[in-house]
Amino acid sequence: MEEKKFDLNSIIGFILIFAILIWMLYQNKAEFEQKQPQSAQKESTITQQKTPDKTVSEDPSLTEQSLEIITPEVVKENKITTLENDVLAIAVQSKGADLVEVRLKSFEDYKGKPLYLVNGDNSKLGLDFSTNSGLNYSSKGRFFTTKLSQKSDSQIVTLTDSIGPGQFIQFEYELPSKGYMMKFSLRSQGLSDVVDANKSTVLTWEQKGIRQAKSISYENRYTRLTYQHEGDKISKLSQTGDDDETSSEVDWLSFRQHFFSAILIPDHSLNDVKFYSNDLVQNEDIDSLFTKKYKAVLPVSRSGGEFGESFEWYYGPTDNTILKSFDKNLERSIPFGWGIFGWINRALFIPLFGFLSGIFPFGIAIIVMTILVRLVLSPVLYKSYLSQAKMKILRPELNDINAQFKDNAMKRQQETMALYRKAGVNPMSGCLPALIQLPVFYALFMFFPTAFDLRQKSFLWADDLSSYDSIFELPFRIPLYGDHVSLFPILASIAIFFYMKMTTGQQTMAQPTQEGMPDMAKMMKIMIYLSPIFMMIFFNNYASGLSLYYFVSNLITIGIMLVIKNMILDEEKIHAQIQENKKTPKAQNRFQRKMTEIMEQAEKQRNARK
């Protein structure tokens, strides 16, 4: 009975695959912060509400003594001004001239409630500078006067902080009648002799990402601060833990909350911008309200003694089509993968899935795309299986070589390579196809979790292809696995189990067991059972669309392998071809000759030592 051997190529492939998975799934724990967002004001097209405020200032620097440049305010009341267009509803408060609400009208969160990117005090905007007399100014504690105006295609709210006669600071928000992009600007007047020109005037923007998805751990994995600088370079702060950076020539910065983003775009590149990111999810078992806290400190330009800046400000979905339409490289804030992986997604999978989802329901579109991908890669699978068949035919001769030179590893290797050359067989041809598939595997691994079109799209029992497909809620939480059971990862695990059972032993090259070395065949057998378990655990909280892809992909791969084995490959013809190749062996190329010389020299040195 023929002894079943391990599949060396499969080992290499699966080790590489699981190395990528573990790298992607590993996360550190960091500071947790839980705080209930305050409720924003009620909607209206252009309205004002007045709420009394008993506090003079929230900033300790804004005491009566430290603000001798600022005239006393007669009335301190917080006015809320609401602007609205076809997709956005925003509210600006007079205290600090800051946003207190940004609602996306076309979307809901995972509980079916209105979706807010800003709600209450999760976002703060502040202007800070020093005076020539050594005092500090912060807009966060100031009460601005509000003025509403309207153009033919936009609504404008202008907020002014009067400091003295002819002296003021002004913030302005302009919301167009359509779209997710608004304008924001700030400027000073009459302060050229007041502001200390030797110290920086800075605009600080802080925001905590409000949870929008069922799985906060999954959402937090794709929540990140990204910015473009120095031309077209894209940099990101750490995906986990806390991080900070300082950068120059910054063109835009994105506070991404997985499927939704807040992006600030200055009208010119900014230097010495400071970025901060803090992970607020310390314990994923707790039902957290926020994911990460972002902060950016931007220097404000001065001209003629006055300061001012203009920005475009995007609040909306992290959708490739929408972001690309602004022609500012904003779509590169989406984590489609680096290098060739991102290129594959942008050039191939995004257009392909967009086309298919326009014809089929989203779940069917995933299945159709998977079938197309596997069919395109089927020649690669054929090459791999053909190599395994050739190795199987050569196995008896390889066993003879191993037995004849069992005590001489160098000679055994020389004879093995000579046999490969005579038979016209390349032992690496079975491994290379597996490596060729890795870029496609990783590109799709990045594509499905970031595909905005899958958000809240249902298929079969999955009510949201961008989140996990829970079929049973557990009364307790299992570490790493979660508090629910997802069906698509289970189906994908079963499919990969049968795939690995089929591929194990197909590579029949005999490997002599070395003393002190583990039995690789046993290790491979263990991997057959561990790999599906790992997949079932790690993907339990992942997007069900990704698990659906792996399930269908493995089923199709099994089918293609069966067709190749039973209908395409003819082992008798392959054997005859190998015997024919032995009669006229290929000449050694330069590299093979050099390797042969090295091995022969090593053999001579070994004999000399003996």
187: its two tokens: 């400027």
**Does residue 190 lie within any of the structural domains?**
yes
Instruction: Clarify whether residues 68 and 102 are in a common domain.
Output: yes
pLDDT of residue 255: 94
Q: Indicate whether 344 belongs to any domain.
A: no
Per DSSP, what are the bridge partners of residue 116?
A: 103
Q: Per-residue pLDDT averaged across 238-254, rounded?
A: 92
Reply yes or no on whether the pLDDT at 360 is more than 60: yes
17 & 62 share domain: no
Q: Does residue 419 fall inside a structural domain?
A: yes
Q: Residue 349 carries which DSSP code?
A: I
315 and 187 fall within a common domain: yes
**Structure tokens, 402:** 């191993």
Comparing 116-130, 393-407, 523-537, the range with the smallest average pLDDT is 393-407
Give residue 42's pLDDT: 36
Boundary (domain end) residue, out of 290, 306, 335: 335
Quote the domain boundaries for residue 383: 8-22+355-583
Average pLDDT taken over every residue of the chain: 78
Residue 92 has pLDDT above 90, yes or no: yes
277 and 420 part of one domain = no
- Classify residue 41: in a domain, yes or no: no
Start-end of H helices in 299-361: 320-324, 339-344, 350-357
Q: What is the pLDDT of residue 23?
A: 52
Whether 42 is in a domain gets the answer no
455 and 507: one domain?
yes
Kindly state the helix (H) or strand (E) to which residue 302 belongs, with its residue range: strand 302-303
Mean pLDDT of 485-505: 84
Mean pLDDT of 76-103: 92
Measure Cα distances from 85 to 43, 79, 256 in Å. Answer: 12, 20, 22
Same domain, yes or no: 283 and 378? no
Domain match, 307 and 388 both: no
372 and 480 co-located in one domain:
yes
Per the model's pLDDT, the better-predicted residue between 440 and 69 turns out to be: 440
Q: Are strands 98-108 and 47-52 parallel, antiparallel or unpaired?
A: unpaired
Closest to 441 (Cα-Cα) out of 560, 356, 559, 553: 553
What pLDDT is stored for residue 115 in this prediction? 94
pLDDT of residue 61: 36
Residue 18 pLDDT > 60: no
Torsion angle of C-alpha atoms 501, 503, 507, 513, degrees rounded to 10: -30
Order of all β-strands in the sheet with 290-299: 136-138, 123-130, 202-210, 290-299, 273-279, 243-247
Q: Which secondary structure element, helix H or strand E, spans residue 130, and what is its range? A: strand 123-130
Tokens of 425: 């067989």
Q: Are 431 and 487 members of one domain?
A: yes
Q: Where residue 59 sits, what CATH number does that domain have?
A: 2.70.98.90
The pLDDT value recorded for residue 170 is 93
- Quote the pLDDT of residue 319: 92
Does residue 122 form part of some domain?
yes
Q: In the structure, what pLDDT confidence band is assigned to residue 266 with cuts at 50, 70 and 90?
A: very high
Taking phi over 0 as left and psi of -120 to 50 as alpha, with beta for the rest, 78 belongs to beta
Element (H, E) at 446: helix 431-450
Out of 304, 335, 366, pick the residue that ends a domain.
335
**Who has greater pLDDT, 61 or 525?**
525
Residue 240 falls within a domain, yes or no? yes
Sign of the CA dihedral running 356, 20, 258, 488: positive
What does the block give as tokens for 542? Answer: 């992942």
**What integer pLDDT is reported at residue 293 of this predicted model?**
93
Same domain, yes or no: 329 and 442: no
Same domain, 276 and 376: no
Q: Which of 28-37, 369-378, 444-453 has the lowest mean pLDDT?
A: 28-37
Among 289, 306, 335, the domain-final residue is: 335
Q: What is the pTM of this model?
A: 0.75
User: What confidence score (pLDDT) does residue 587 get?
Assistant: 58
Residue 531: the pLDDT is 83
pLDDT tens for 189-228 read 988 888 888 888 999 999 999 998 888 888 888 999 999 9
Whether the pLDDT of residue 341 is over 80: the answer is: yes
- Overall number of domains in the chain: 2
Return the minimum-mean-pLDDT range out of 14-18, 176-180, 224-228, 251-255: 14-18
Calculate mean pLDDT across residues 251-277.
94
pLDDT at 408: 66
pLDDT value for 591:
54
Query: Both 375 and 257 in a single domain?
Result: no
The reply to whether 459 falls in a domain is yes
On the question of pLDDT at 70 being above 60, the answer is: no
Residue 323, pLDDT score: 94
DSSP 74-118: S--EEEEEEEE-SSEEEEEETBTTEEEEEEEEEEE-TTSSEEEEE
pLDDT in tens, 120-160: 889 999 999 988 888 889 998 899 999 999 888 899 999 99
